[in-house]
Amino acid sequence: MLLNDGVRIDGRAPGHLRPVTIERGWSKHAEGSVLIAFGDTKVFCTASFTEGVPRWRKGSGEGWVTAEYSMLPRSTNTRGDREAVRGRIGGRTHEISRLIGRSLRAVIDYKALGENTVVLDCDVLQADGGTRTAAITGAYVALADAIGWAQGKKLIKPGRKPLTGTVAAVSVGIVGGVPLLDLCYEEDVTAETDMNVVCTGDGRFVEVQGTAEGQPFAREELDGLLDLAVTGCTELGAAQREALDSTA
């Protein structure tokens, strides 16, 4: 039984996030780096800032932001093969890498960034549901740090603000008919509907990806999940701000 009188298996209420921690400065090499935890889900996010852009963008005066996601082989309960060993990246990995990149680009002003590239690497050290949403939320902080670093080095023109807002992400889902915020793994595998929502700090949507795992879902269910997600993202935005305000 995942829900007992509205109490979840880890004791949370339906609308509560797991404990969120965001540690900055986790790498001595990367321009921005964060170890983010959503409960037992831990993702290591680095932002690599380099001057120059991919060939197809040269001379445009605009920058580029992209992301790569990966799970360590034993980040999950049973060991998975390394994609490097299999020689090809799986569909799920591709999908999530693309989602993270799009989500962060939604708050980037390419002109202000100038012809510079930021690559976000999100490596899951331990997985317990919500790895892609933790990755987006942590990558935003690493990105902000990398941009701050570049401003300090005068690699971005004075007065330009490449970040147009903040972005965070959370999962929501329906378990036993009840809409839940920030699903852990056990909840995720039993959810009837599973949705990942990416929001900006002002409560607008960047991405909405909802999937019926079992039964198709009705419009009211969708509406309930969206409400819950906006609340969650707002809380995560506060955690991001707090992390960025502390001294790294």
Please, which residues have CB within 8 angstroms of residue 145's CB and are 6 or more apart in sequence?
24, 25, 31, 32, 33, 34, 47, 244, 248
Build a one-symbol-per-residue string for 206-235: x at contacts with its own copies by CB under 8 A, - elsewhere: xxxxxxx--xxxxx--x---x---x-----
| Dist. CA 153–CA 237, nearest whole Å | 27
- Residue 148 CB coordination number (10 Å): 16
Residue listed under structure tokens 């690493």: 142
Build a one-symbol-per-residue string for 69-88: x at contacts with its own copies by CB under 8 A, - elsewhere: -x-xxxxxxxx--xxxx-xx
H-helix or E-strand containing 240?
A: helix 219-245
**Which of these ranges, 7-15, 26-34, 133-141, 172-180, lies near its own copies under the rule CB under 8 A?**
26-34
Q: Is the dihedral of CA 197, 90, 127, 50 positive or negative?
A: negative
Q: Choose which of 10, 40, 186, 235 interacts with its own copies (CB under 8 A).
A: 40
| Dist. CA 161–CA 141, nearest whole Å | 15
Judged by CB under 8 A, the number of residues near its own copies is 67
CB 146 within 8 A of CB 44: no
Is 130 annotated among the ligand-binding residues?
Answer: yes
**Strand, helix or coil for residue 156:** coil
Build a one-symbol-per-residue string for 131-170: x at contacts with its own copies by CB under 8 A, - elsewhere: ----------------------------------x-----
**Of the two residues 64 and 217, which places its CB atom closer to its own copies in the complex?**
217
Please, what is the minimum distance in Å from the beta carbon of residue 58 to its own copies? 18
H helices of 60-195, in order, are 83-86, 91-105, 110-113, 131-152, 185-190
How many residues are given for the chain?
Answer: 248
C-alpha neighbours within 13 Å on the C-beta side of residue 58: 4
Is 92 annotated among the ligand-binding residues?
Answer: yes
Q: Choose which of 4, 11, 29, 55 interacts with its own copies (CB under 8 A).
A: 29
Please, what is the minimum distance in Å from the beta carbon of residue 138 to its own copies? 14
Q: Choose which of 199, 228, 236, 239 interacts with its own copies (CB under 8 A).
A: 199
Please, what is the minimum distance in Å from the beta carbon of residue 207 to its own copies? 6
**Which of these ranges, 10-18, 64-72, 148-156, 240-248, lies near its own copies under the rule CB under 8 A?**
64-72
Known binding-site residue numbers for phosphate:
92, 130-132
Judged by the rule CB under 8 A, the positions of this chain that interact with its own copies are: 27-30, 33, 40, 44, 46, 48, 50, 68, 70, 72-79, 82-85, 87-95, 97-98, 102, 106, 119, 121, 123, 125-128, 165, 195, 199-200, 202-212, 215-219, 222, 226, 230
